[in-house]
Structure formats: C-alpha cells, structure tokens
Structure 1
Amino acid sequence: MSFLDIAKSRYTTKEYNSDKQIPDGKIRELKEILRLSPSSINSQPWRFIFVSDEKVKEKLADASYWNNQRINEASHLIVFTAIDDIKYFEEQIKENLPEGYVYYYNQFLKPKGETEVKSWLQHQVYLSLGFFLSACASMDIDSTPMEGFNNEEYDKILQLNRYKTLFAVAIGYRNPDDNNQPSITLKSRLPLEQIIQSI
C-alpha cells in the first residue's frame, strides 16, 4: 500500500475491539520507531511510556474525561512526555551531542529564556507524534491521539520526575462498528487549493 493510500485510510479511532491486543513483536517495533524519531539538533527531549497494565490504564482513563472509554478499550496507551528540567536537558545534550549542536543550543536557544526553551522542547515531542501515527497506520494498527485529559493527574499516576505529560495515543484494533472510520464516514478535509501553495 502506498503512503497516500495509508493517509486516506488512517483515521482517529473512536471505538476499539477490547478483545484484540497488539502482539509484543509489533510493540517492540513501535518502541524502536519512536526511538528513531527526528528532533531538532537530535535533542531527543522525550520519554515515551507504554501502558498496558489494566489497573494503570484505568487510573489514566479516569483522568481522561471523554477519552475514558477509548483508553479502557485500547490495547495500549502511549504517554508522550517532554523534559521539564532545563538543567537536566543541558546535561543530557552535553553528554550525548556533538559540540556544534550544543553550541547552537547555547547560542541561539538558551538566551531566549526558560519559557521559550521549554516550548521548543515540547515541539520536538510533537514531531514524534506524526512519525508514530504514520508508523501505526503502516502496521495496520489503529490510533487515537488525545490531549483531552488532566495532565497533572497523569504526571502523578506515572510518578514523573523531570518530565511533563504533553499528550497520549491510544492504540489497538478498531471495533468494526466504529462510525468514525472512512468506510462509514468520509474524511472531511479542506480543498488542496486552499491549503497548498506552490511558488
């Protein structure tokens, strides 16, 4: 299947088949794909938490407002977090990145201040989201990206230290009756001419 066909068939899943779990081999593959996600200056300011334990999933679902059902039905919930401790981040890049990359950070990003740096760190995690959703679709795994939950409660449940929850993705296999799938409800997108400009 071409990537265009994948893009046409991928959708945000609203109902999952709770009896069907993603095989361990595919989960290992998704973990490696996330590890290989792109980020500016290869900064990698993230941690991805794969949750399959039903008790932990239930707690997170309870803190997820209208996304509660999807999380409970899904095979796994992946929580995407960003480093929230700038000193810790600076130690990480000093240990792992080439000197030129660290120089770029110190000269062009750090002077902008803590708020701007944290925003930049979080933007890198959002880059990994697109990578991850595309990977899931290419592996016939359904997904639901979500921001509709209590982030602070997620941080407590997952006992995060130096990291902060940004968003999560439920993954699994769709319920055949899910009305949101393109074969039942056509995708709604703006016309290409309205959003693409060629110069």
Structure 2
Amino acid sequence: MNFLNIAENRYTTKKYNPNKKITEEKIEDLKKILRLCPSSINCQPWKFIFISDEKLKKQLAEVSYWNEHKIKEASHLVIFTAIDDIAKLENQMKPYLPEGSITFYKEFIKTLPESGIKSWMQHQVYLSLGFFLSACACMEIDSTPMEGINKEKYAEIVKTGEYKPLFAVAIGYRDENDHNQPSISPKSRLSIEKIIQSL
C-alpha cells in the first residue's frame, strides 16, 4: 500500500477493541521512530511517555474529559511533552549541536520573550505528532490524537517534572463497529482547489 492509500484509510479512532494489544516489538519500533522525529535545528525539546499499565491508564482517562472511554479501551496511551525550562533546553543542546545551529538559536530564538521561546519548543512537539500518526498508520495501528486532556493533572499523575504535557495519543486497534472509520463514515475534506496553490 502506498502512502496515499494509507492517508485515505487512516482516521481518528473513536472506539477501540480492548482485547487486542499492540505487540512489544511494535511499541519499541514506535519509540525508535519518535527518536528520529525532525525538529528545528535538531533541538529535540521533548519527552514521549508510553503508558501501558492499566491502573495508570485509568487514572489518566478519568482526567481526559470526553476522551475517557477511548483511553480505557486503547492498548497504550502516549503523552507528548515539551521541555518547560529554557536553561535545560540550552544545556541539552550544547554538546551535540553544530556552531551554526547554536548561532541561529542565539540570534533568532533566544532573543524572543520567554513565552515565545516556549511556544517555539512546543511547536516542535506538534511536528512529531504528524510523524507519529503517519508511522502508526503505516504499521496498521489505529490512533486518536487528543488535546482534550487536563494537562495539569497529567503532570501530577505522571510526574513530568521539567516537561509540560501538551497532548496525548491513544493507540491500539479499532472496534470493528467503530462508526468513524472511512468504510462507514467517508472522510470529508475540502477540495484540492481550495487548499492547494501552485505558482
């Protein structure tokens, strides 16, 4: 299957089969894929937390608003976090970034207000989300990206420390009757003419 076919068939899963779990081998592959995600100047301002423990997953589900049942049914939950301490990011980057990247950071990022620097870091984590969702689809793993979580409670429950939870992704395998799958509810997208411009 080529990537266009994968994109046509991938969707946001609303109902999972709680009895079907992702193999440990596939989870390890997903971890390796996340490690390879792109980020501006290769700053890597993130940490990805994989949750498989059912008790912990239940705690997080209960502070995830309307996403509760998806998390409880899914095989795993992955929490995407961003570094929330600018000094930590700078110290982390120093050993491996080339001089040109450090110069770019100092001239164009470090000169921003604190909120701007943190926003820049968080944008990198959102880049990793697209990479991750595509990887899941290629591996025939269903997924549900969720901003509808109580970030403060997530931080308390998982003890994220210097990292701030931004969103989470439930992963697993769809229930065969999930109403949101394209075979039941065809995808609705704007036309190519409305969203693509060629010059």
Same fold (TM over 0.5): yes
Code of the aligned partner of 1:177:
N
**Aligned residue number for residue 53 of structure 2:** 53
Give the structure-2-normalised TM-score: 0.99
**Aligned residue number for residue 39 of structure 2:** 39
User: What secondary structure, in the 3-state scheme, does the structure 2 residue paired with 1:95 have?
Assistant: coil
The alpha-carbon deviation at position 183 of structure 1 amounts to 0.2
**Aligned residue number for residue 192 of structure 2:** 192
**Aligned residue number for residue 136 of structure 2:** 136
Q: Find the aligned partners of 2:108 and 2:65 in 1 and give their Cα distance.
A: 39
The alpha-carbon deviation at position 113 of structure 1 amounts to 1.5
**Aligned residue number for residue 11 of structure 2:** 11
The alpha-carbon deviation at position 73 of structure 1 amounts to 0.2
**Aligned residue number for residue 72 of structure 1:** 72
Say how many residue pairs are matched: 199
Code of the aligned partner of 1:179:
H
- Per-residue CA deviation, residues 49-108 of structure 1 (Å, 9 max, x unaligned), is 000000110110000000000000000000000000001111011122112211110111
The alpha-carbon deviation at position 133 of structure 1 amounts to 0.2
Q: Find the aligned partners of 1:52 and 1:96 in 2 and give their Cα distance.
A: 32
Q: Find the aligned partners of 1:95 and 1:161 in 2 and give their Cα distance.
A: 22
Are 2:126 and 1:109 equivalent residues in the alignment?
no
Give the structure-1-normalised TM-score: 0.99
**Aligned residue number for residue 22 of structure 1:** 22
Code of the aligned partner of 1:112:
L
Code of the aligned partner of 1:120:
W
User: What secondary structure, in the 3-state scheme, does the structure 1 residue paired with 2:110 have?
Assistant: helix
User: What secondary structure, in the 3-state scheme, does the structure 2 residue paired with 1:22 have?
Assistant: coil
- Per-residue CA deviation, residues 36-56 of structure 1 (Å, 9 max, x unaligned), is 000000000000000000011
User: What secondary structure, in the 3-state scheme, does the structure 2 residue paired with 1:140 have?
Assistant: coil
Code of the aligned partner of 2:5:
D
**Aligned residue number for residue 81 of structure 2:** 81
**Identity of aligned pairs, percent?**
63
The 4+ residue runs of structure 1 with deviation greater than 4 A are: none
The alpha-carbon deviation at position 123 of structure 1 amounts to 0.3
Code of the aligned partner of 2:39:
S
Q: Find the aligned partners of 1:103 and 1:53 in 2 and give their Cα distance.
A: 43
